[in-house]
Amino acid sequence: MVVLFIVATLIPQQSVSPEFAWLADIYHSRVFYILMALFSLNLIICSLNRLPLTIRQYRASHFPPPSGLFENLPQNRTILTHKKMEDAEQRVEASLSPAINNVKKTNTEKGHLFYRGRGRFSLFGVYMVHLGVLVIIAGAVAGSIWGFQAEIRLAEGQESNVVQLAGSGTEHSLDFTVRCEKFVVEFYDTGAPKTYRSDLSFIRDGKKMHRGSVLVNHPLSFNGLRFYQATYGVSEDSRAYLRYEHTGRESREIPVLRGETFDLPDQKAKATVLRVEENIMQLGPAVKLRIETNKNKVEFWVFQHIKKIADVNPGLFSAVPVFNPGRFQPLVFSLQRVENQYFTGLQIVRDPGIPFVLTGGIMLLIGIIVIFFVSHQRVWVWVEQEPDGVKIRVAGRSNRYNEASQRQLDDLCIKIERGLSA
């Protein structure tokens, strides 16, 4: 049985170690689940098999003591005193249990036998560990069955309720919409990344229900789903910031993307952004606009560095009218800047197994600590009236390494002796 257990521990190990390089998804394969099931079954069977023995040990009566306990005692474990029997017994009891009264006592032929047990619960530490492992496995299974894992990519200003499920990549609709208000990436002077942050809002039925920022290590929860900052990138479309001058007054800054339209005031005109370029014909950033009115439509480029271009090429606007940012009179457009537009990649997770895994982990840890650092120590002290005085004999049993428990018995003897001579 034990060999089987050790072998069972080895099996999932060997199957996990060499495979990860080439068998990418082994941990979701049927073989792996079967191995885990076998491993769990083994753990259960081994634990149940040993449980009756442990319960017997736990309930073991302390009287009479195990046979041979008081035979071959080292010399220092026997104390002779000329004090009265009652005084000696009182001393023994006080030394055994300084604080709590957990000393058992029974009558023997020529005196009394005292017993003190400590750390009896530690016998069950191993079951706590095994149960912890099983709870973790159960949590992992629950997570893989009822859990949910998906991804979403949103450009700044974009919103969506459609996410891609992990693994299959199929689309799935959420019952609320996520909007990326802003994505921020900051770098240290060394060039290493410092911060990735997505400012999100969650919208349901047209209402903003919740706003918040997602950072690496700081996920955000909404509606039972947790959102993680997973990745980011620069989207193909850049964002341009335009202004126009109208009768000597500058308009506000208008952020635009390719394909977007905006209305021009005081005119029954509509502008469409045809192209946004970061660097066209080595002339720097530029935007191509089309402006339509009821009567006509014009197309032209708005360059960011139009002044420089015009200075270098005198008579440019008459030669190439599409380069004139004032082609749609009386407005004169100017391009403030063109910026890369980031998109953020969010991971969306729901895992109902987590409370189990956490509980299992804590049980495991407590169990291990109990096994290692608490031992079941049993001490018997036999006080008898002999012709030449009162004889006190000390003996003990422990389920862990003997050296420490022997030392404790020595300490106890010294304590009793000191008490008697005081």
Partner 1 sequence: MNHTMIFNYVTFIYFLAFVLYLFKLVLKKESWGYAASFAAWTGMLGHTFSLMLRWKESYDRGIGHAPLANLYESLIFFAWSIMILYLLIERRIKNRILGAFVVPVAFLIMAYASIAPGINSGIEPLIPALQSNWLTTHVLTCFMGYAAFTVAFGGGLLYFWKSIRDEKGSNDLTLNDHLPSLEMLDILIYQSVMIGFVFLAMGIITGSVWAHYAWGAYWSWDPKEIWSLITWLIYAILLHARYVRGWRGKRMAMLAIIGFASVLFTYLGVNVLVSLHNYI
Interface with partner 1, residue 369, by CB under 8 A: yes
Interface pick for partner 1 out of 103, 142, 165, 368 (rule CB under 8 A): 368
CB of 407 vs partner 1, minimal distance in Å: 13
Beta-strand relationship, 103-108 and 111-118: antiparallel
- CB of residue 215 to partner 1, shortest distance in Å: 7
- The radius of gyration of the chain's CA atoms, rounded to the nearest angstrom, is 40
Under rule CB under 8 A, residue 43 binds partner 1: no
Q: Does 421 participate in binding partner 1 (rule CB under 8 A)?
A: no
Cα end-to-end distance, the chain, whole Å:
55
Q: Hey, what's the torsion of the CAs at 369, 372, 373, 377, to 10 degrees? A: 130
The Cα–Cα gap between 62 and 262 comes to 91
> Binder to partner 1 among 4, 10, 31, 322 (CB under 8 A)?
10
Query: Token pair 């200003």 is at which residue?
Result: 157
- Work out how close the CB of 361 gets to partner 1 at its nearest, in angstroms, rounded to a whole number: 5
Binding mask 108-137 for partner 1 (x = CB under 8 A): ------------------x-----------
Helix-strand-coil percent breakdown of the chain, rounded to 5?
35, 40, 25
In the sheet with 297-303, reading across from the earlier edge strand, the strands are 261-264, 269-277, 286-292, 297-303
Considering only CA atoms, which of 153, 340, 156 is closest in space to residue 231? Answer: 153
DSSP structure class, residue 360: H
Region near partner 1 per CB under 8 A, out of 16-24, 78-86, 89-97, 170-178 = 16-24
Neighbours of 360 (CB within 10 A): 22
The site string for partner 1 over 321-360 (x = CB under 8 A, - otherwise) reads --------------------------x-x-x--x--xx--
**Smallest separation, CB 18 to partner 1 (Å):** 10
Q: Is 145 in the site for partner 1 (CB under 8 A)?
A: no
Give whichever of 2 and 99 is closer to partner 1, judged by the CB atom.
Answer: 2
Give CA angle at 170 (154, 353), nearest 5°: 90
Contacting partner 1 within 191-230 (CB under 8 A): 192-196, 215-219, 226, 228-230
Q: How far is the CB of 132 from partner 1 (least distance, A)?
A: 10
* Bridge pairing between strands 286-292 and 297-303: antiparallel
From the list 150, 147, 173, the residue with the least C-alpha distance to 160 is 173
- Of the pair 44, 365, the CB lying nearest partner 1 is at 365
Residues forming contacts to partner 1 in the complex (CB under 8 A) are 2, 5-6, 9-10, 13, 16-17, 20-21, 27, 126, 140, 149, 188, 190, 192-196, 215-219, 226, 228-230, 347, 349, 351, 354, 357-358, 361, 364-365, 368-369, 372, 401, 403
